[in-house]
Amino acid sequence: MEELLTMKERLEAVRDEIKRALRRVGRSPDEIKLMLVSKTVDAARIIEAINLGITLFGENKAQELKEKAPQLEPYGVTWHYIGHLQTNKVGDVIRYATMIHSLDRVRLAEALNRRLEREGKTMDVLIQVNTSGEASKFGVPPEEAASLLRAVSQYPALRVKGLMTIGKFSSDPENARIYFRRLRMLRDELKTLDLPNVELTELSMGMSGDFEVAIEEGATIVRIGTKIFGARPYPDQYYWPDERQTR
């Protein structure tokens, strides 16, 4: 019973699985960053994770980030923003996050750039790609990624570091492999464009149910929530506000 294990035990199990997945495909441990997704998780439990050596956390809502980040300021954690971002919330996210995984439209790039320039800052971003083609999911369709990337590369305050995707949920993680592979191949293809301010070293893919497959397919950041923190009080529709049926 996973729920009966301590956070330490669950974290050790995940770290082991990450190592094994890396070894299976001959990748080295320094090629992967483990992010804990702390949406709905309170500061006390985040501190528990910090004490176990975690330094990277992901939040999905600007409001939650804005509430938690100041409380955890003394711990020096790194925040990444992984949720759908409304243009009127960019201020809160820029203030606390060092990377945004969910850049999916030109209008958002423009809003981010304007605000960043005003504050004299730059921001690392990932382009979110809808690799599974589910109508309900955010992210740019793969065939529009190149034109979005070209547009984003024109904004001097944005540094594109790579791509992000959410694998299609399935009880069998093998079913997510094609979406992760699609993201990696798209990244390789986009690299050949050789755009300014665009690096494409990061692939943010893999969650509690499918991170091992994502690592085998080249993930550099895995985003893990429930497998460490346990089940969340709300269904995921609350975070992916759409008519998503499968989660």
Ligand X SMILES: *Cc1c(COP(=O)(O)O)cnc(C)c1O
Q: How far is the CB of 82 from ligand X (least distance, A)?
A: 4
Residue 154 interacting with ligand X (CB under 6 A): no
Of the candidate spans 144-152, 181-189, 191-199, 222-230, the one that interacts with ligand X by CB under 6 A turns out to be 222-230
In this complex, which beta carbon is closest to ligand X, that of residue 83 or of residue 157? 83
Q: How far is the CB of 15 from ligand X (least distance, A)?
A: 15
Residue 111 interacting with ligand X (CB under 6 A): no
Q: How far is the CB of 28 from ligand X (least distance, A)?
A: 24
Residue 242, phi-psi category: left (phi > 0), alpha (psi -120 to 50), beta (remainder): beta
Give the residue, chosen from 14, 22, 82, 198, that forms a contact with ligand X under the rule CB under 6 A. Answer: 82
Q: How many CA atoms lie within 13 A of 151 on its CB side?
A: 15
Q: What's at 212, amino acid-wise?
A: E
Query: Measuring CA to CA, which residue among 165, 154, 155, 153 is closest to residue 198?
Result: 153
Residue 166 interacting with ligand X (CB under 6 A): yes
| C-alpha torsion angle, residues 143, 146, 151, 155 (rounded to 10) | 130
Q: How far is the CB of 26 from ligand X (least distance, A)?
A: 25
Q: How far is the CB of 114 from ligand X (least distance, A)?
A: 25
Residue 136 interacting with ligand X (CB under 6 A): no
In this complex, which beta carbon is closest to ligand X, that of residue 32 or of residue 157? 32
Question: How far is residue 220 from each of residues 1, 65, 117, 171, measured CA to CA in Å?
Answer: 29, 23, 28, 23
Residue 126 interacting with ligand X (CB under 6 A): no
Q: Binding to ligand X (CB under 6 A): which residues in 25-64?
A: 37, 39, 60
* DSSP bridge pairs for 36: 57, 224
Residues contacting ligand X: total by CB under 6 A: 14
Give the residue, chosen from 13, 226, 230, 244, that forms a contact with ligand X under the rule CB under 6 A. Answer: 226
Residue 197, phi-psi category: left (phi > 0), alpha (psi -120 to 50), beta (remainder): left
In this complex, which beta carbon is closest to ligand X, that of residue 5 or of residue 193? 5
Give the residue, chosen from 34, 207, 219, 221, that forms a contact with ligand X under the rule CB under 6 A. Answer: 207
Contact 38, 46 (CB under 8 A): yes
b/e burial code for range 82-93 (CB count within 10 A of at least 16 → b)? bbbbeeebbebb
Question: How far apart are alpha carbons 139 and 220 in whole angstroms?
Answer: 19
Of the candidate spans 2-10, 49-57, 195-203, 217-225, the one that interacts with ligand X by CB under 6 A turns out to be 217-225
Angle between helices 145-152 and 177-191 (to 10 degrees): 50
Q: Which residues bind ligand X (CB under 6 A)?
A: 37, 39, 60, 82, 166, 207-209, 223-227, 239
